[in-house]
Structure 1
Amino acid sequence: MTIVRYSPWKTRGLASQRAEITSLQRQLDRMFEDVKAPVFRTPAAELTETDDALHLKLELPGMEAKDIDVEVTEKAVKVLAERKSETQTEGKGNTRSEFYYGKYQRVIPLKARIQNTNVTAEYKDGILNLKLPKTVEEKNKVVRINLEQN
């Protein structure tokens, strides 16, 4: 028994096959051109809780502090940032880049209420560090657990 590879274009001439393949390739190219990168990227985050505060780290590489906007409420932190393109082409050269240029956004709900007026921030080496002090009520919060005996 001989195995034969099926080709839907076998029944037509070679020129017809090439025309159909080229047409299909153009359609696929147009489809992928229409698909754009997401409007916002989500930066990686790390949240640590201590008795007195929440410590939030966000990864925002290649940005300047002036391009980062932080909004803090008692229940959430919202970070907006934008990395602007710096592509420079000299002469007839081409640039191929895998860097992401555009907007970053992240909203992080907080599991403890914080004093949003006493938040401190530091941006260094592409990492945004936020210290979010807890409210007095959260620090003094005691939860009683009742255990049942068998």
Structure 2
Amino acid sequence: MALVRWQPFQEIETLRRQMNELFDELVEFNDESRRRKLNWTPTIELKETDENVILKAEVPGVEGKDLDIQVSREGVSIAGEHRHEDRIVEQGYFRSEFRYGKFQRQINLPVPVKHDQVQAEFNNGILTLTMPKAEEARRRVVRLNLANSQHAIPAAESSGTSDFNQQMTRK
């Protein structure tokens, strides 16, 4: 059996190297998360009614002239830029958690819309797009009246209502 001399400084050097690798990984993680925060996209709300699809996008600090909005039958593209304010801080402390830079967001719509009849409103950093549904996407309701006859009566169509009542009598 051979005797091995204990070298405490070599073990300390190994521990120091492992700690440096750990801190390097943490710094890289923080740089990546910082990069992700800088590349932001606006948050949205999407609501479907009987007649329209309503999209609200939150774009705080962005002016209307810095927005590029494109609407097709199947989707919406919102692009823009939140410009950084040039400030000169000569003394004191300055901290900013605002997100600056360009952004782009693609939103798929649940139904086709009439993209040439979109109404847009931009107020207090909230962009609201009201997009009328295409005719084939609107809900159609059929009412059946079987009260007076044993044979089927032709159905009458009515659109724009979600009340689906069938009138039937039992003999």
1:31 is aligned to: 28
2:41 is aligned to: 42
* TM-score, length-scaled by structure 2: 0.63
Compare 134-143 and 23-32 and name the one that shifted more: 23-32
After superposition, residues 1-150 of structure 1 pair within 5 angstroms as: 11-12=8-9, 27-28=24-25, 31-32=28-29, 35=32, 37-38=35-36, 40-139=39-138, 141=140
Provide the C-alpha distance between the structure 2 equivalents of 1:87 and 1:12, rounded to a whole number of angstroms. 51
* TM-score, length-scaled by structure 1: 0.71
Compare 104-113 and 67-76 and name the one that shifted more: 104-113
Q: 1:137 offset after TM fit, Å?
A: 1.9
- Structure 1 or 2, whichever has the larger Rg, is 2
Question: Where do 4+ consecutive residues of structure 1 move more than 3 Å?
Answer: 19-30, 140-143
Provide the C-alpha distance between the structure 2 equivalents of 1:24 and 1:73, rounded to a whole number of angstroms. 50
Partner AA of 2:8 in structure 1: T
| Contact map agreement 1:42 1:105 (CA 8 A) in 2 | yes
1:6 is aligned to: none
| Contact map agreement 2:50 2:139 (CA 8 A) in 1 | no
RMSD of equivalent CA atoms: 3.1
Deviation per residue, 1:49-105 (Å, 9 max, x gap): 111111110111111001111111100111112111114123234422111111222
| Contact map agreement 1:123 1:129 (CA 8 A) in 2 | yes
List alignment gaps of at least 5 residues for structure 1. 1-9, 144-150
Partner AA of 1:37 in structure 2: R
List alignment gaps of at least 5 residues for structure 2. 1-6, 143-171
| Contact map agreement 1:89 1:95 (CA 8 A) in 2 | no
Equivalences, count: 133
Q: 1:120 to 1:24 in 2, by over 3 A?
A: same
| Contact map agreement 2:53 2:132 (CA 8 A) in 1 | yes
